[in-house]
């Protein structure tokens, strides 16, 4: 039985380009982001993958990335579930601020702690641990059972919600997951064992 799970961080967004904290702000993809999403779909097609179900967040940058990938795969209209459990981490008061301006206001070290610590929340926002607390139960209840039943599952989401899933799937520590970089529009392809642990992990880059 193939137990296939593919995780994809959305293509570059308008606020990624402007170096702004985005979080739950519903911004669209840039032209580069559109190209990244199409390229991701092309790589999945080249790999010979077909999906039975897809999951995404309620934010348009993830949903549009998913739609563009499905277009490339010839799978428009695939059963798709959208849930805010898969949304990006909420950056609270930092949302909409330029990252360089935030460093000037609060200091390089404080902004680094907010961005790269596991359990420190930015003002009014979520830590990575908070993001894990909403994304992981959703994964365990919905996504993982689909994969373990033999369905091929495609997830289009965000850097931090996907880090939360990767941490659980690969059994990583908070320190290990904080060092994990996820490029926009680059699929992470898992084959899972029956016990839900990874049998193979492949980063699908050109």
Active-site residue numbers?
10, 88
In this predicted structure, the answer to whether residue 131 has a pLDDT above a threshold of 80 is yes
Helix (H, G, I), strand (E, B) or coil at 193: coil
| pTM of the complete model beyond 0.75 | yes
Q: What domains appear along the chain, each with residue ranges and CATH number?
A: 4-203 (3.40.50.1240)
Q: In the predicted model, what is the mean pLDDT of the chain?
A: 96
Secondary structure letter of residue 10 according to DSSP: P
**What are the residue ranges of helices labelled H in the chain?**
14-17, 31-46, 60-73, 99-106, 108-116, 128-138, 144-148, 159-170, 174-178
What confidence tens digit (pLDDT) does each residue in 150-191 have? 999 999 999 999 999 999 999 999 989 988 889 999 999 999
How far is Cα 2 from Cα 24, in angstroms, rounded to an integer? 34
**pLDDT class of 100 with cuts at 50, 70, 90:** very high
What confidence tens digit (pLDDT) does each residue in 62-99 have? 999 999 999 999 999 999 999 999 999 999 999 999 99
């Amino acid at each position: 039985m193939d137990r296939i799970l593919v995780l994809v961080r959305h293509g570059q967004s308008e606020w990624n380009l402007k170096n702004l904290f985005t979080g739950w702000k519903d911004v669209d993809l840039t032209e580069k982001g559109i190209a990244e999403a199409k390229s991701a779909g092309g790589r999945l097609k080249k790999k010979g993958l077909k999906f039975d179900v897809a999951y995404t967040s309620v934010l348009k940058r993830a949903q549009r990335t998913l739609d563009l990938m499905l277009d490339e795969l010839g799978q428009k209209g695939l059963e798709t579930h959208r849930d805010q459990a898969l949304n990006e981490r909420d950056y609270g008061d930092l949302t909409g601020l330029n990252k360089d301006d935030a460093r000037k206001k609060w200091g390089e070290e404080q902004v680094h702690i907010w961005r790269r610590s596991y359990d420190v929340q930015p003002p009014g926002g979520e830590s990575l641990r908070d993001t894990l607390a909403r994304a992981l139960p959703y994964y365990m209840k919905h996504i993982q059972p689909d994969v373990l039943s033999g369905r091929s599952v495609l997830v289009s989401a965000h850097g931090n919600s996907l880090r939360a899933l990767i941490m659980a799937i690969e059994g990583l520590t908070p320190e290990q997951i904080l060092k994990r970089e996820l490029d926009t529009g680059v699929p992470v392809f898992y084959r899972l064992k029956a016990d839900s642990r990874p049998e193979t992990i492949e980063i699908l880059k050109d």
